[in-house]
Amino acid sequence: MKAIAWRRYGPPEVLEVTERPKPVPKENEVLIKIKATTVETGDTELRRFQIPVLFWIPLRLVMGIVAPRKGKGLGQQVAGIVEHVGKGVSAFKPGDEVLANTGMVFNGYAEYICLPESYPIVHKPATVDWAEAAALSVGGLNALHFVRLANIRRGQSMLIYGGTGAIGSFAVQLAKHNGAKVTAVCSTEKTAFATSLGADHTIDYSRTRFYDTGQHWDVILDTIGGSPYEQCIRSLTPNGTYLLANPRARDMIRAWWTSKMTDKTVRVKMAGTGKNDLKLLRDMLARGELRSVVDNRRFALQTIVEAHRYVETRRKFGNVVVIL
């Protein structure tokens, strides 16, 4: 089968198409023929290995200390058709259309993948195409996690920094679903798109710094990293919450101090990958209560280098999908 390999950490050019043996499922595994996968910002960070200090050692042990382990590829979410199952698998059968989060297996950049049945694998709704299905798990699960952490109540205000990316596009919708008044911070060309997702207000960061508006929010969620820490704290209402989806090391240290010494709370807890949460998101998608945002530019496995370059421009809308 065709799969994307890499021999060292570095720029997009380290990725290359190779031939690899088709995997064989173990007793508790599902073999999926991949129809679509995605290139996430997290994939580009892992490829360069520019990882927050908190996760540097665990991920290095998983991916490879000096260089990527042989057979360990990138790719965090997939959609495809179950081709074969191990004899211990009961929830899936050959022919089932599914979407999945690959967890610590990664390896979504390939024609086939084996995943344990216990992983976040759920049946794909018939009304959802492959691209929309593949784009659900990473952004959706992270957004659900942080909206829950915010404990948002109807009528409260929430600012989402990076409101049109893979996490932000879901966070805007889920916050609105919970009754929040949402402000999305994004670029000029994405303000109308953020409004279409349900944002009540948008702030074009190229023209206005949100912390200069004099406004205050009950919750501020930074989905991409790089938001100005002190200004975000000052832009919270009393007892407000600041959520960091992609924290820098110094922000994690300051988070503890701020939460202990002020009336503000800073949370950096990372999202899990629960099957039940993915089922919840899948059902919302099927009912039309949630929209899986896919960028207009789509790529083939053979153009994965170009896809990584595009994601690193930060011009993407939602998720960048690779069609197999």
Question: For residue 295, what pLDDT is reported?
Answer: 94
How far apart CA 291 and CA 281 sit, in angstroms, is 10
Mean residue pLDDT across the chain: 94
How far is CA 137 from its chain centroid?
7
* pLDDT mean over 293-302: 95
57 CB-contact burial (10 Å; exposed 0-12 / middle 13-18 / buried 19+) = exposed
Query: What residues contact 230, with CB distance under 8 A and at least 6 apart?
Result: none
* pLDDT mean over 20-47: 96
CATH architecture assigned to 2-136+292-323: Alpha-Beta Complex (3.90)
| DSSP reduced 3-state for 309 | helix
Nearest to 30 by CA among 105, 99, 85, 97: 85
Helix (H) or strand (E) holding 16: strand 15-19
Question: For residue 256, what pLDDT is reported?
Answer: 87
Question: For residue 51, what pLDDT is reported?
Answer: 81
Question: For residue 194, what pLDDT is reported?
Answer: 96
pTM of the model: 0.94
Helices (H), the chain: 41-48, 53-63, 130-134, 137-150, 168-177, 191-197, 229-234, 249-261, 275-286, 304-312
pLDDT tens per residue, range 142-162:
999 999 999 988 999 999 999
pLDDT tens per residue, range 65-116:
999 998 899 999 999 999 999 999 999 999 999 999 999 899 999 999 999 9
How far apart CA 139 and CA 278 sit, in angstroms, is 11
Question: For residue 116, what pLDDT is reported?
Answer: 97
How far apart CA 321 and CA 25 sit, in angstroms, is 25
How far apart CA 32 and CA 29 sit, in angstroms, is 10
* pLDDT mean over 118-131: 97
How far apart CA 229 and CA 125 sit, in angstroms, is 40
Tell me, which fold does domain 142-267 have in CATH? Rossmann fold (3.40.50)
The neighbouring-strand residues paired with 232 are none
Residue 53 pLDDT exceeds 80 = no
Percent of the chain at pLDDT exceeding 70: 100
pLDDT tens per residue, range 177-236:
999 999 999 999 999 999 999 999 999 999 999 999 999 999 999 998 888 999 999 999
For 64-106, the three-class secondary structure string (H helix, E strand, C coil) is CCCCCCCCCCCCCEEEEEEEEECCCCCCCCCCCEEEEECHHHC
In this structure, of 7-21, 59-73, 243-257, 286-300, the range with the lowest mean pLDDT score is: 243-257
Task: Place 270 in a pLDDT band, splitting at 50, 70 and 90.
Answer: confident
Inter-residue contact 160 to 172 (CB < 8 Å): yes
**Same topology for domains 2-136+292-323 and 142-267, yes or no?**
no
Angle, CA 207 vertex, CA 202 and CA 208 arms, to 5°:
65
Residue 273 pLDDT exceeds 80 = no
Domain residue spans of the chain: 2-136+292-323, 142-267
The neighbouring-strand residues paired with 18 are 3
* pLDDT mean over 266-271: 85
Question: For residue 225, what pLDDT is reported?
Answer: 85
